[in-house]
């Protein structure tokens, strides 16, 4: 009975682990090495440190390395959870597991596959051992001693009276031995522990909470600190326009229209959110000479006006006199014919139930923390809105692990 209970619990834990593994579909099946002007596909494990690999648009970066040719935008959501792509150019470090979005890049490998970011993450997931809770360990030891003892006493209860007492009925003592066995049977006690943990892990899994083992489930009663990720956990992970601030005699409608038209041909999440906000048909005949400036923004001619839309670096690159702002979210600065005409703030939306959850949680624990790969302004703004005690921002996955261990 106890073994059956453990089988059920093991099934629940394995189901949970496979759920985690499916979320971590970040390993690249191959790497393309450049040798003697030829491109050869090999497994990531075969690539040596110092080799040059090429990553095409839409491919996952198979190993950690440094960009030696080309520039592009990388989707880092699988590692950092952040929806805004990161721009890279020659000399920048690139982590395995991210997806190349814009252009072909050549990377010099700096770490073997065994030490790569993606390999370490997969290893952490696959080897998250199912550990027993303290009460389960006690019950296991208890059952090993108690069960054979009870069975032995039942056998003695059957045999000894038959030997030392005269004229005894075998079936009477067999009945008494069986009665003793049933009364003292620990099955209900022993099976309740693994089945209780199975029910807990299974129910949590059905609610989207992944528990790695019985000992972690038992520890929940002693929690005094809770650490949250931000994007997709407390926020929706989708971007929307939260503020439009025009200036220099330009209306809000004109500012949005110029920006959306300039960004029309871009698949960047920011461009997509702008087009969704505009929600009108775009007259593409008015748009000409569109140029995407990697890591900065876009340049385009809209209705014969030169429009620049992007970050602060874009404004500085074209010597546009602008006013830098510090707001929650990503700021898109816009210029028309060399004159600054305003900015648009795009931010990730907080989930409707996040504030309720944090409010209910705060009285139950001593401290809450927020760990995020997002900017300081965005991270701290979310923490303040939700009532989270402390926010740590600009963190990569490995930094989040280090910070978690420090906490």
- DSSP-derived 3-state class of residue 309: strand
Q: How confident is the model at residue 20 (pLDDT cuts 50, 70, 90)?
A: low
pLDDT at position 129 is 45
DSSP 351: P
| Gap between the Cα atoms of 96 and 216, Å rounded | 30
Q: Residues near 174 by Cβ (< 8 Å), separated by ≥ 6?
A: 158
Instruction: Give the tokens for residue 23.
Output: 């979320």
**What is the sign of the dihedral through the CA atoms of 216, 217, 219 and 222?**
positive
Flag whether pLDDT at 128 surpasses 80: no
Q: How confident is the model at residue 256 (pLDDT cuts 50, 70, 90)?
A: very high
Flag whether pLDDT at 13 surpasses 70: no
DSSP 354: H
**What is the sign of the dihedral through the CA atoms of 54, 59, 65 and 67?**
positive
| Gap between the Cα atoms of 218 and 196, Å rounded | 11
For the entire predicted model, the pTM comes to 0.48
Flag whether pLDDT at 143 surpasses 70: yes
Dihedral class, residue 406 (left if φ above 0, else alpha if ψ from -120 to 50, else beta): alpha
Flag whether pLDDT at 282 surpasses 50: yes
Phi, psi of 228 (to 5 degrees): -110, 145
Q: Which has more confidence, 195 or 224?
A: 224
Q: Is 229 a catalytic residue?
A: yes
The one catalytic residue among 229, 283, 337, 352:
229
Would you give the distance in Å from CA 109 to the centre of its chain? 25
On the CB side of 162, CA atoms within 13 Å amount to 13
135-144 — which CB contacts under 8 Å span 24+ positions?
135/193, 135/218, 136/193, 136/194, 136/197, 136/214, 136/215, 139/2, 139/189, 139/190, 139/193, 140/2, 142/186, 142/190, 143/2, 143/186, 143/190
């Amino acid at each position: 009975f106890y073994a059956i209970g453990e089988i059920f619990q093991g099934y629940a834990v394995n189901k949970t682990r496979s759920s985690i593994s499916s979320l971590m579909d970040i390993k690249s099946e191959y790497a393309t090495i450049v040798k003697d002007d030829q491109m050869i596909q090999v497994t990531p494990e075969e690539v040596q440190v110092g080799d040059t690999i090429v990553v095409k648009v839409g491919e996952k970066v198979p190993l950690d390395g440094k960009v030696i040719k080309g520039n592009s935008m990388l989707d880092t959501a699988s590692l950092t959870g952040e929806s805004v792509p990161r721009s890279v150019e020659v000399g920048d470090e690139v982590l395995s597991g991210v997806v190349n979005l814009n252009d072909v890049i050549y990377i010099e490998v700096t770490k073997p596959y065994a030490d790569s970011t993606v390999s370490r993450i997969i290893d952490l997931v696959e080897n998250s051992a199912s550990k027993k809770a303290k009460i389960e360990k006690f019950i296991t030891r208890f059952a090993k001693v108690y069960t054979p003892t009870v069975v032995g006493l039942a056998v003695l209860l059957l045999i000894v009276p038959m030997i030392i007492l005269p004229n005894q009925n075998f079936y009477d003592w067999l009945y008494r031995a069986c009665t003793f066995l049933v009364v003292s049977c620990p099955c209900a006690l022993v099976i309740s522990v693994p089945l209780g943990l199975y029910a807990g892990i299974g129910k949590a899994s059905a609610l989207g909470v992944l528990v790695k083992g019985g000992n972690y489930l038992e520890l929940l009663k002693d929690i005094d600190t809770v650490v949250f990720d931000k994007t997709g956990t407390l926020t929706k992970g989708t971007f929307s326009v939260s503020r439009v601030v025009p200036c220099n005699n330009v209306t809000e409608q004109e500012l949005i229209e110029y920006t959306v038209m300039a960004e029309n041909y871009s698949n960047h999440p920011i461009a997509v959110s702008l087009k969704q906000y505009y929600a009108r048909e775009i007259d593409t005949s008015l748009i000409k000479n569109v140029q995407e400036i990697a890591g900065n923004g876009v340049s385009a001619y809209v209705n014969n006006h030169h429009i620049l839309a992007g970050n602060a670096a874009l404004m500085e690159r074209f010597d546009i006199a602008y006013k830098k702002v510090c707001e929650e979210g990503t700021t898109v600065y816009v210029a028309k014919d060399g004159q600054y005409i305003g900015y648009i703030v795009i931010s990730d939306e907080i989930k409707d139930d996040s504030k309720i959850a944090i409010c209910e949680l705060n009285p139950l624990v001593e401290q809450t923390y927020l760990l995020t790969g997002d900017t300081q302004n965005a991270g701290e703004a979310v923490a303040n809105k939700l009532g989270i005690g402390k926010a740590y921002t600009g963190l990569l996955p490995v930094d989040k692990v280090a910070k978690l261990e420090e906490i």
